[in-house]
Amino acid sequence: MKTIQLTAKTQKDLLDSLLKRSPNHYGQYESVVSEMIARVREEGDQAVFDYTKQFDRWEITADNIRVTQAEIQEAFDAADAEFIEVMRRSAANITAFHQKQLRSSWIDTREDGSLLGQRILPIAVSGVYVPGGKAAYPSSVLMNVIPAKVAGVGRIIMTTPAGADGKVNPGTLAAAKIAGVDEIYKVGGAQAIAAMAYGTESIPKVDKITGPGNIFVALAKKACFGYVSIDSIAGPSEILVLADETANPRYVAADLLSQAEHDELASAILITTSRELAAAVEQQIEGFLQELSRADIIRKSLEHYGYILIAESMDAAVEAANAIASEHLEILTQNPYEVMTKIKNAGAIFLGEYSSEPLGDYYAGPNHILPTNGTAKFFSPLNVDDFMKKTSIISYSREALERAHHDIELFAGKEGLTAHANSIHVRFEETD
């Protein structure tokens, strides 16, 4: 990790460095992804089958593309019983948290006969992408599917790549059963996103696609946005720890490494007012790297995107944290709740030394699908509203419209839209 003094210049340089990790900076892959999407859109299943054979190296057909109930049950039965119970408890926490986000339709009536309201309904079909490859993430299945279930989505489609043997990771299938996925298809990559966006002979078109993936998946979601809704174009994982001299350096080091192990582009940042803590954290990191299984990935992540920033004051540290707008923000200070009130931008905030980031990844209940690359300044974690659509309701009586019609006609006239004005005027032309 690079230890530097926090100044306006070093903060700007850091932000510039972090932004290079954004999927928006990988334009060299866009033409490849566009070609894949176009082919899936035109050829349907055949394109999906060809790409699956090319990238996943197994023969997929219309007969074996969908995961059967027998395969799901086999994976569920083979799973570690204790792990199944842990996933059930996690699912219960996620469900309870997201149920509090539910909102109801509403109607407001007035004495003049006007009626205004909003109708809130779930989308019909939700699609979730679950990565395979280097690692499988059953937790992402729970986090993507459960908010959709709570919202009332009637049909949930999942795509995930199979191995060369045509089998899907059993943990992924077990999580899908617990979460309540309706259909699972053995397709990964940009071709899976295109298939859900446009539909093929085997894979139905969905209304929204959520879930993480590699750069090709991210760019495919970006390209398909508009034909289908998406959650976000997620970048690599990131964590920022705000700490003072009271923080436990062993805890801080462990928490930083919990995100650095995701991949070489992950970012781990410590902002502290204590040089002594900074030195102790570095020492603890070196100790952990001697024993952690993904040490090689962690070292590369820390080399490129690992920083320890020494701030003159906690206010300066908070200002930098708001500028970075990290996906995960831990506050390990003497009074974390006071510091939290000054935080404006973060995907998720973890308070105190017993609220480490993996608590949010797996168990607490808030969603772990969070805005990255500074987008916490204007995006939110995945939530129930992401699976809802809202329709406005308007009803005016003659009396109510009569009171407003001159105002509306004036407004339309100022915009040069005479047909708009006439649509109102014809209802009162006899009295005007």
Cα separations (Å) of 410 from 136, 397, 419, 427, 432? 60, 20, 12, 15, 14
3-class DSSP assignment, residue 267: strand
Residue 327 is a catalytic residue:
yes
Q: Does residue 425 have an active-site annotation?
A: no
Catalytic residue (choose from 328, 330, 353, 368): 328
DSSP state, residue 179: H
Signed CA dihedral, 257, 263, 264, 269: sign only? negative
Torsion of CA 68, 69, 73, 75, to 10 degrees: 20
CB of 327 closer than 8 Å to CB of 260: no
**Active site residue: 327, 330, 353, 409, which one?**
327
CA 286/CA 289 separation, integer angstroms: 5
- Other CB atoms within a 10 A radius of the CB of residue 335 amount to 13
Distance CA 313, CA 419 (A): 61
Would you call 52 helix, strand, or coil by DSSP?
A: helix
User: What are the residue numbers of the active site?
Assistant: 327-328
